[in-house]
């Protein structure tokens, strides 16, 4: 863990058989952020992804990380 940050993490699904532990963000403690539901695509269910909505000074941003 990093001091002053929190970890938002989605672990790797059990059906994915490879190294690693999923996807995640380290978010600074004073940043307003929340995870957002993302669309599921049955053809690409092996794609690991996490969507994060961040609000800074009233503006919203969508950040996506995928593996």
With 90 as the cut, is the pLDDT of residue 15 above it? no
Domain that holds residue 31: 5-66
* pLDDT higher than threshold 80 for residue 50: yes
Strand pairing class (23-28; 32-36): unpaired
Distance of CA 3 to the CA centre of its chain: 19
Q: What are phi and psi of 9, to 5 degrees?
A: -140, 140
What is the reported pLDDT for 4? Answer: 96
- CA atoms 11, 12, 14, 17: torsion sign: negative
Label residue 17 by pLDDT band (50, 70, 90).
confident
Residue-level pLDDT at 3: 95
Cβ neighbours of 6 (radius 10 Å): 14
- Total number of domains in the chain: 1
Mean pLDDT rounded to a whole number for the chain: 82
């Amino acid at each position: 863990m990093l001091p002053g940050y929190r970890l938002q993490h989605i672990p790797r699904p059990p059906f994915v058989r490879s190294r690693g532990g999923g996807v995640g963000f380290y978010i600074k403690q004073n940043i307003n952020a929340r995870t957002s539901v993302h669309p599921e695509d049955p053809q690409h269910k092996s794609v690991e992804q996490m969507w994060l909505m961040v609000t800074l000074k009233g503006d919203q941003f969508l950040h996506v990380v995928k593996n």
